[in-house]
Amino acid sequence: MKLHMVDVLGQYHKIKAEVDAAIHAVLESGQFIQGKEVGDLERRIAGYLGIGEAIGCASGTEALQIALMALGIGPGDEVITTPFTFVATAEVIGLLGARPVYVDIDPRTYNIDPRLIERAITRKTRAIIPVHLYGQPAEMEEIMGIARKHGLKVIEDAAQALGASYKGKKVCTFGDIGCISFFPSKNLGAFGDAGMVVTDDKEIAARMRMIAAHGSRVRYYHEVLGINSRLDTIQAAILGVKCAYLDQWNAARRHAAARYTKMLEGSPVVPPFIAPHAEHIFHQYTLRVPRRDELAAYLKENAIPHAVYYPVPLHLQKAFAMAGSSRGDFPVTEKATEEVLSLPMHTELTEEQLTCITDTVKSFYARH
């Protein structure tokens, strides 16, 4: 049995005719940059989220950078975020000359712990970037309350969470700006890099649209310093087809996650926590496991795909030495990096595959 951590090919084959037709329509149009499919996708995502403005860009990483630039964040500023996330979240803060300030995570959700945010706020703090990690919404009600109290902006990093909901409302719609990634492995994935920023603030939207197009509203007239971060028309066309399946695919992920959890009952692994007021979309199915590295080696021996997201927290990465953190500063995060392990998660998982994967996990603990 061939298993995949993410089965993008299997998904493509099910909608191949639609995707191929959309790609060929773009090829025939010759509008490879800013074709109509880009605007169509922007309107579709805005409608799906129930938000006013959506601007396509080249990647989820650049979505974060554009958001920070639109808020005027730069040298001397501080941005509060989590040390337990993909590097892009803090990378863009540092690239703009600002300083990432980390706050430890909730041990159940792996998201930033709102109870710890206020003690990290200083006179230099400009914004908070909560990450909806693995598809689990952060505690946005508490985070927004803190932000309003202190006059801070909020950028939601929803790179792993498009379609997730918090108290009945989609993520990306709580903060000042929401950032989306369409990396191929994401719940809504392109066939290359692609991203989007969303907001209900028309002024911020106009600024982000300019920044993504070399700081220009009108060609060759540049009002602000920007970057080249346009969403490719072919990628927009592919995503336009896949949009229709997003809720169905997220439901399939939730079903697979429920089966994983049921099948792993009685083993020493700790399944993902699902907050009662949140709808988790399981970009990853991440366990907390004893003897993680030994289990990982056993899974490898038995050809079971797996991954560790993430083995080294950001505050211990060499690239972020400027943040001034050291080992022991964020103990909950550090413990998570030693214990988390993600199993295959995608829309094409079968009962037979789920059984094979979970039986292998259980057999490790039965033998060891």
Please determine, for residue 325, whether its predicted confidence score (pLDDT) is greater than 90: no
Read off the pLDDT of each residue in 59-71 and give the average, rounded to a whole number. Answer: 98
Read off the pLDDT of each residue in 41-47 and give the average, rounded to a whole number. Answer: 98
User: How would residue 326 be classed by pLDDT, with cut points 50, 70 and 90?
Assistant: confident
CA pair distance 250, 246, nearest whole angstrom = 6
Read off the pLDDT of each residue in 43-51 and give the average, rounded to a whole number. Answer: 98
User: How would residue 64 be classed by pLDDT, with cut points 50, 70 and 90?
Assistant: very high
Please determine, for residue 236, whether its predicted confidence score (pLDDT) is greater than 90: yes
Read off the pLDDT of each residue in 349-358 and give the average, rounded to a whole number. Answer: 98
Q: What is the pLDDT of residues 276-308, one digit of tens each?
A: 999 999 999 999 999 999 999 999 999 999 999
Amino acid type, 240: G
Does residue 310 have a cis peptide bond before it, meaning omega lies within 30 degrees of 0? Answer: yes
The Cα-based distances of 118 to 35, 89, 142 in angstroms read 44, 20, 11
CA pair distance 183, 228, nearest whole angstrom = 18
User: How would residue 323 be classed by pLDDT, with cut points 50, 70 and 90?
Assistant: confident
Query: Is 161 in contact with 109 (CB distance < 8 Å)?
Result: no
Beta bridge partners of 240: none
Please compute, for residue 87, the number of CA atoms within 13 A of its CA located in the half-sphere on the CB side: 9
Please determine, for residue 368, whether its predicted confidence score (pLDDT) is greater than 80: no
Q: According to the model, what pLDDT value does residue 241 have?
A: 98
Domains (range + CATH), the chain: 8-103+112-243 (3.40.640.10), 246-367 (3.90.1150.10)
Read off the pLDDT of each residue in 189-209 and give the average, rounded to a whole number. Answer: 98
Rounded to 5°, angle at Cα 101 from 158 and 283: 20
Please determine, for residue 5, whether its predicted confidence score (pLDDT) is greater than 90: yes
Please determine, for residue 174, whether its predicted confidence score (pLDDT) is greater than 80: yes
Q: What is this structure's pTM? A: 0.96
CA pair distance 223, 231, nearest whole angstrom = 21
What b-and-e string marks burial along 122-156, b requiring 16 or more CB atoms within 10 Å of the CB? eeebbbbbbbbbbbbbbbbeebbebbeeeebbbbb
207: left (phi over 0), alpha (psi -120 to 50) or beta: alpha
Pairing outcome for strands 165-166 and 278-279: antiparallel
- Better pLDDT: 246 or 368: 246
10 Å Cβ neighbour count for 224? 14
